[in-house]
Every structure is written in structure tokens, then in C-alpha cells.
Structure 1
Amino acid sequence: MPISTDFSQRLYPKLRSIAAEFGTPFHIYDEQGIRDTGHRLQQAFANVPGFREYYAVKALPNPSILKIMADLGFGFDCSSIAELVLSRQAGGQGEDIMFTSNNTSIEEFVAAQEQGGCILNLDDIGLIDKVPEMPELVCFRYNPGSARSGNSIIGVPEEAKYGLTHAQIFTAFSKAQARGAKRFGLHTMLASNECNPAYMVQTTQMLLDLVAEVGQKLNIEFEFINIGGGLGIPYRPEETAFDIELLGRETATLLQTFAAQHGYQPKVYMESGRYITGPHGVLVTEAINRKEIYRTYVGVDACMSALMRPGMYNAYHHIDVLGKTSSADDEVVDVVGSLCENNDKFAIQRALPAIVDGDLLIIQDTGAHGQAMGFNYNGKLRPQELLLRADGSVELIRRAETLADYFATLDFAAKTWSSK
């Protein structure tokens, strides 16, 4: 949807000057908007004792952004060694970090357990024996299969590669106990960009029901449940925002009921990424070409390597043209990049104000899974990242890739193997 009025009022009047200073294309993020959303999430769960957000580092793995997360008191949800390093550099230590990986290697487990360790969230029952040293606190990721629905981004649970089955969960916790685990958590993530809070309430209830069942059979008192991420944002103008206050209220009620029945109340963790930063970033790109064939194409100086969601998911990202407003004279165009792929399109048959070379296009809601999903097909280089600080200044927080970066992996010591 169109970015917030606050964000546009902070950004648009100075955007032409920012583009002149830094050049295009670039992602730019709104510090104030990110902080406001973080505070709103915390306030929504103020009546849920022990609630904590573990920011999904994969959404926007930039040190400057992660420092804002640490300042908000958030933890970090990681899935790789690089994300562990970034989180620790941002100040995350021990149980500030949740390591939720799949198909995990021994090297990744070793990295996760270095420097004070972290919360291990195991995705597969077969990983229990592969963990070099079973930590005191362990969590397992649950996949309910056909008992729940998913969505088009993450897939239906029964087809997803993630998590343990209902039957495996009991065996997993028992084996973890046998290896020395004494504290326990339960996690799931079933949908991505979910805009219906009722779905997340049902997920919370599902985890609490399973916690009660496992706890009774194995004499376990769970320290926390992690309801995952996947909270959606309204990409399209007609969509409504996720009702985070409703989720907070319903979660508090469910936990109070659980406590009355079982004599204790697990903490609630969450690992949102998109919800926290998604609406607070835009990709700014300049129109450089116009092509008239069977339809009209507006070519820009960014391409799918800077934002692959439209090409990968056919995802909608709202677009503004700086200084121009929609009217009856809007043109229907495709907004395209320069990759040798026909799905290198930011918009397909979109009605936009008439665009000429030199216009700045603001492609919105790129604060999550934008730069993070970038790639180098066709030798295209990923753009720079900027941060619009709360004081109005603009800071370069990642430089653009260079040809030297692209060719760096071809500079290596010769190495040959032969069977002879």
C-alpha cells in the first residue's frame, strides 16, 4: 500500500536531493517508522508476561538495522552462520539469539554454540544426535501437517520441508531430555505474510494444546512457545493492516486460561521480520528508457536483482512517481529492469502517471525481503542501502556492490585434483 504519510512527508521533499547525492538505485529505510512499529508491537503484548520479539534477520540483514532492533530490546532469529555473526556484532548474546535452521550442518551447530551459545530450535528429529553438545535449553519446530492450512508463499504444512510431525515431537523431547536438556520451548511457523490475526490466534492455541499434551506425558514445564513470524503487511492499497492489538489481547486471554488449568504460564516469543521493517523501506530507481511495442514499457535503472518478490511470487509493490499524482490521464505500463528474463518486472499493466526519463519511481514496502534476496544474475550488482535517521539525516549503511566485488571470488590460489 502507499507508504505511511509520516514516511512520505519525511522522505519525498528531500528525495531528489538524496538521489543527486547518492545516485540511484537505492533502498532507503525509515528509522522512525521502524521504531514506532516496534513500540506498537511491544505495547500490544504488554499484558503477556515474558513476551519477546526475535527479529527475523533474514528479512533485512544490515548491521545498522539490527542495532535498532537491539536498542528496542528485541532478540534475533537466525538461520545461518552469517546471521549469527551479524546478530552477535549487534549485541546479541546467549538467549538473545534463536537459531532456527533446517538441513543444518555440524559447522553451523558449532558456530551456534560458540560465544555463549544461543537457543537451539531444532527442525528435525534426526538432528538431536548431531548436535555436538545438547544445551540446557532446547526448542523444537512443530509441523501440524494436514491439521492446519498454510499459504502460497510458504506452502501448505503437509508439503513444507520444515518441522517435526505430531508423533515425532514426543520422541524428540524425550531424546533431548536423555541428552541432558532441562529447559524447553516449542515453535511453529505455518504461513507467511498472514493478514488475518485469527489465524495467528489459532496457532497460539495449537501450541498451547500441544504444550499441555507433551508436558503431561513427559513431565515437562515449558519455558516458552514461539508462534513464529509471518505477520503480514498490506502491500495493496485496498488491503487492511494486521490487527496486532487483537492478537495481543487474544494471546493474553489464552495464556490466562492455560495458567488457570496448568498452574504456570509459558512465555510467548515471536520472530516477525516483514511486520517490523517491511513497510518502512522503499526502492528508489530512475526511469531511463521508454519502449513502445505491443505494450508500453518503462525501463528503470534497478532490476529484479534488487527486488525479486514481484518476479518470484508475482507480488504487488505499490509505486509512486515523485512529484506526480494519479489522474484520469494515467498510462498503463509495465515497469521493467534490464535482466535477460521476462519476469524482471516491478509492475505489470499498472496505471501510473505519465513517466519520462529522469523521473524517480518509489517502489514501496521493500524493507523486508528486498535487498536480502538480491542476486548477481547477468552480472548485475546489488544497490546501496540508506537509512533515513530520526533526526532527518541520511546515512549510507551499505555501499553498492562493485565489479571488484563480483570478480573477487575468481581471485584464488590455484588448486587441482587428479586421480592419477
Structure 2
Amino acid sequence: MKNTFVHKEQLEKIAAQFPTPFYLYDEKGIRENVRKLQKAFAWNSGFREYFAVKATPNPEILRIMKEEGCGVDCSSLTELMLSDAVGFHGHHIMFSSNETPPEEFVLAQKLGALINLDDFTHIDFLKETAGIPETICCRFNPGGTFQISNAIMDTPGESKYGFTREQLEEGFVKLKELGAKRFGIHAFLASNTTDDGYYPTLAGILFRTAVEIYRKTGIGISFINLSGGVGIPYRPEQKPADIEKIGEGVRKAYEEILVPAGLNDVAIFTELGRFMLGPYGCLVTKAIHEKHIYKEYIGVDACAANLLRPAMYGAYHHITVMGKENAPCDHKYDIVGSLCENNDKFAIDRMLPKIDRGDLLVIHDAGAHGHSMGYNYNGRLRSAELLLKEDATVQLIRRAETPADYFATLDFLGLFPPKD
């Protein structure tokens, strides 16, 4: 069982004002989680969390992060524009992109962002398009497989991202010759793991790499970005990551590897998205149909266009039927949306309480990579986003799309003139 951060009476009042489906985010939970992360890494004076904008690209969410002292991690032109509009500037922006169009490097340079290069050939590309900044970062791909606790978490050797070890060293030397003065290393080797050993293990790899480069080239590393990858427990029985234990593990590796090498002032960065927002957002939908054929189906007013992860990855998202939290889960359902695709299912053969038309369903852990992955297949429209504020009021932070939005890019044809 998973607890919701909103109770039935609250949700009914919200749904009376804002039609389902909609996303709802918990401001109190978000702020508490940011502070928990910062406390875990308070031992490092240069620590900064660069929130992954792609996870939840909403201005109000970004403002919360800014107020809590975070930076932002951007990977596109529009994410840079959004972050700039919210008030992030300079080294509070990390720009990590790949196959990057020239105009994106130009804007990142204009904003003074920390540019994280994904490929050796991008050094010359950046020089030609925007110039080499004094502070630069390179993404490292160690190749092979990455293992924790005897379980393979990822296969970097099959990933399209990053420099090889040899390219990394050569790249830093070349960047120094081109005028760079401060250097950073970045790596992302696992996705959505709750294994507390992930960050400390990755930190060990990057710390040793930094020491090797320093001893061989004399180039000191100013910051190391552990990127994202720390996940959340989507299933009730899963154990959550212990961020305090993770922070302590990274501290231990820091003191064992960097400090003896004289690299005792390296700043540690993270760029978490799912860990920061995932549990603090949900998709709220309403049961509108039931179907009894070879299986039992409950049709809801949300679909994969609102939350893609179950259809795309077969991902599990826990579902609470509001008001029936303590009822026996004695009905087996597929919870489905309205797309003309048979994978448009939020749950398959899920044991749940009896669901009646009109029941509100909360789909948990949708705060990251939920609304941001929405799309318009079948002409379905993206849902509203709401913020449950600390004082228990609700703020509309993104309105639901309308048919006018859907047709806006066709209005030049004169077939769909805007209506008052």
C-alpha cells in the first residue's frame, strides 16, 4: 500500500474545480526532499543539485527548486529558455546535451551556463559556434558494463553518450590549450536504481579518473557531477534509496581517493529528476467505463498521452482508488485509456478494490517523466498541472490543452481560426 499526499475530500473539491485528468504536485514533500538531499551532501562546501528540467519542466516547480538553492540541468534550447525565464543564470545552469545544434551552444554560452560536452568532436564544434568558455565539463563513458552488488545496472559500452577514457584526457589537454581554465567530469551510468551503492561506486570511478588525469597532465578537476540515476520505489514493497547513507558513501570515497592526492576542494554536483520529484506528483483520473469481456476492464479519462511510461516501458505505477484504501483488493482489472493502441494500459491484471464509475484513481509516482513525456496521438490533449501548496491551497501551474492549442500550428491554413 502507498499513501497519497492528498485525502479523498480534498481531491473531490479539487476535481470539482479542475476536470480530470490532471497532475497534482506536493510542494511540502518536494521542499522537504530537497533539504534532505542537501543535508546528505553538506560535508562538501561546493555541493549543488542541478535539477533535471526534462523530468518536470514547469516554471513553478523550477521556482521551488531555485528558492531551495538548486541549479538546473538543461538539455535543449527550450529548457535553457525556460530556465532563463525563471531566473536561473550563469553557473546555476548546467547544459548537458548530445548531437547539439549550434544555436543551443550559442544560447548556453550567452547565459553563462556550465557546458558539459558529450563528445570529443564537440570541442572544435563549440569553438567554431560559440567559443570555448573558461569553465568546461566533459561527459565520461568508461565503456564495458557497470556493476553494483553483482548485478549489472547498465552497459555504458552500448551507450551513445560520452568520451572514452583516452578521449577524456586528450580532450582536457586540448581544451586547456584553447583557453579553458576550470574543468569538470560528468558521468551517468545507471537509471532508476535504489541501490545505495550506486553513487559511491560511481564517485570512486570518477575520483580515481580525476586523480589519474591530474598526475599525468597537471590538470586539476574543479567539480565532479554524479548526474542522476538514483531512483524511487515504484512498488510498495520496494525499499527506497537512503540518501543520507548515499551521501556518506560518497564522502568516504572522497576522503580516501581525492584528499590524499591533493584534490581536496573538488565540488560535488548531482542532477536528479526522478528522485527529486517522482513521489511528489500523481496523475488523477476518473473511472468512466467498465467492460466485461474476456477480462475485466476499467476505462479512465486519462490515457498514455497523459502518462506514457506504462505503455512505453511496461513500467509499474501504483494505483489508489480514493475512498477505498482499506477495502479488499479482490477484483482483477486492466486499467485502460482511450487511445487506439492496445498498450494504452496503466495496469494489467492488477488486484484492486471494486471500482465504480465516478471513482477517482490516483496513479502514484508520476511527478517526474510524467507530464513532460505527454504527446498528442489520436488528437488527445495534455492535462493540467496543479500544485498543492504548503498551506493546502491549490494553484493551477499549467492549464489543460484545448483544441485551439492542438490546431494552433495549423492556423496559417485558415481552416481552424481561433475562437473567442
Query: The TM-score by the shorter chain falls in which range?
Result: over 0.9
Q: Counterpart in 1 of 2:31?
A: 35
Q: Which residue of 2 aligns with 1:337?
A: 337
1:61-72 matched pairs, under 5 angstroms: 61-72=57-68
Tell me by how many angstroms 1:123 deviates.
0.3
CA contact (8 A) 1:48 1:248 kept: no
Report the Cα distance in structure 1 between the residues aligned to 2:282 and 2:65, rounded to whole angstroms.
19
* Deviation larger for 130-139 or 40-49: 40-49
Where does residue 270 of structure 2 map in the other structure? Answer: 270
Match of 2:10 among 9, 14, 24: 14
- Answering whether residue 208 of structure 2 is matched by residue 209 of structure 1, we say yes
TM-aligned CA deviation for residue 356 of structure 1: 1.1
Residues 147, 153 of structure 2: 8 Å contact kept: no
The DSSP-based 3-state class of the residue aligned with 1:343 is coil
Displacement of 1:329 in angstroms is 5.7
Structure 2 vs 1, CA of residues 153 and 403 (structure 1 numbering), >3 Å: closer, same or farther?
farther
Aligned to 1:136: 134
> Structure 2: how far apart are the matches of 1:326 and 1:153?
38
- In 2, distance between residues paired with 1:329 and 1:273? 32
How big is each residue's C-alpha offset from its partner over 1:91-121, in whole Å with a ceiling of 9 and x where there is no partner?
2110000000001011111111113x21000
Deviations 1:20-61 (A, max 9, x none): 111110000000000000010011111122111000000000
Contact 1:53/1:270 (8 A) holds in 2: yes
Q: Match for residue 124 of structure 1?
A: 119
TM-score by length of 2: 0.94
Partner residue in 2 for 1:406: 406
Q: What residue number does 2:144 align with? A: 146
Cα pair 1:3 1:364 within 8 Å, conserved: no
In the TM superposition, residue 327 of structure 1 has moved relative to its aligned partner by 4.3
Residue 210 of structure 1 deviates from its aligned partner by: 0.4
Per-residue displacement from partner, 1:222-262 (whole Å, max 9, x unpaired)?
A: 11000110111000010011011111111112222234312
Cα 1:284–1:188, aligned 2, differ >3 Å: closer, same or farther?
same
For residue 402 of structure 1, what is the amino acid of its counterpart?
Answer: T
Q: Cα deviation per residue 1:274-321 (whole Å; 9 max; x = unaligned)?
A: 111100011000000001111011000000011001111111000001
TM-score (norm 1): 0.94
CA distance in 1, matches of 2:402, 2:152: 32
Which secondary structure state, in structure 2, belongs to the residue aligned with residue 114 of structure 1?
Answer: helix
CA deviation string 1:383-409 (max 9, x = no partner)? 000000000000000000111111111
Shift in CA distance, 268/154, structure 1 to aligned 2, threshold 3 Å:
same
Amino acid at match of 1:90: V
Counterpart position of 2:78: 82
> 2:263 & 2:87 partners in 1: Cα distance?
31
Shift in Å, 1:328: 4.2
Question: Is structure 2 residue 92 aligned with structure 1 residue 96?
Answer: yes
CA distance in 2, matches of 1:211, 1:106: 29
Unaligned 5+ segments in structure 1 are 415-420
Q: Map 1:353-392 to 2 at 5 A.
A: 353-392=353-392
Q: Distance in 1 between matches of 2:81 and 2:8?
A: 35
Is the contact between residue 146 and residue 152 of structure 2 (CA under 8 Å) also seen in structure 1? no
CA distance, structure 2, for counterparts of residue 149 and residue 306 of structure 1? 34
Distance across 2 between alignment mates of 1:189 and 1:328: 42
Letter in 2 for 1:246: K
Q: Does 1:280 align with 2:275?
A: no
**Amino acid across the alignment from 1:243:** D
Amino acid at match of 1:123: D
Aligned length: 409
Is contact 1:282-1:362 (8 Å) kept?
yes
The residue aligned with 1:254 is 253
Q: Structure 2 counterpart of 1:289, which letter?
A: H
Contact 1:149 1:190 in 2 (8 A): no
Residues 1:394 and 2:394 are matched in the alignment = yes
CA distance in 1, matches of 2:329, 2:168: 59
The residue aligned with 2:418 is none
* Amino acid aligned to 2:358: G
SS at match of 1:130: helix
Q: Which moved more, 1:102-111 or 1:324-333?
A: 324-333
Q: Corresponding residue for 1:417?
A: none
Query: How do 1:172-211 and structure 2 match up within 5 A?
Result: 172-211=171-210
Gapped regions of structure 2 (runs ≥ 5): 415-420
What code does the residue aligned with 2:370 have? G
Match of 2:310 in 1: 310
The runs of at least 4 consecutive aligned structure 1 residues that moved more than 6 Å come to none
1:200–1:329 CA distance, 2 compared to 1 (3 A): closer
Provide the aligned C-alpha RMSD in A: 1.8
